[in-house]
Amino acid sequence: MELFRDIQVLKALFNTVMISVTASILATIIGTLAAVGLRKLRSSLKKAILTVTNLPMVNPEIVTGVSLMLTFISIYNTLGVLKLGMATLTLSHTIFCVPYVILSILPKLEQLNPSLYEAAQDLGCAPVKAFFRVVLPDIMPGILTGMIMAFTLSLDDFIISYFTSGTVMTLPISIYSMTRKGVSPEINALSALLFLVVLVLLLIINLRQSVRENADVVNLR
| Domains annotated on the chain, with CATH | 2-220 (1.10.3720.10)
CA–CA dist 50, 46 (Å, integer): 6
What per-residue confidence (pLDDT) applies to 217? 56
What per-residue confidence (pLDDT) applies to 219? 56
**pLDDT under 50: residue ranges of the chain:** none
CA 151 to chain centre: 5
pTM (predicted TM-score): 0.84
What per-residue confidence (pLDDT) applies to 29? 95
| Contact indicator for 84, 164 with CB cutoff of 8 Å | yes
What per-residue confidence (pLDDT) applies to 208? 72
Neighbours of 144 (CB within 10 A): 15
What per-residue confidence (pLDDT) applies to 19? 95
3-state secondary structure of 85: coil
CA–CA dist 50, 2 (Å, integer): 47
CA–CA dist 70, 89 (Å, integer): 13
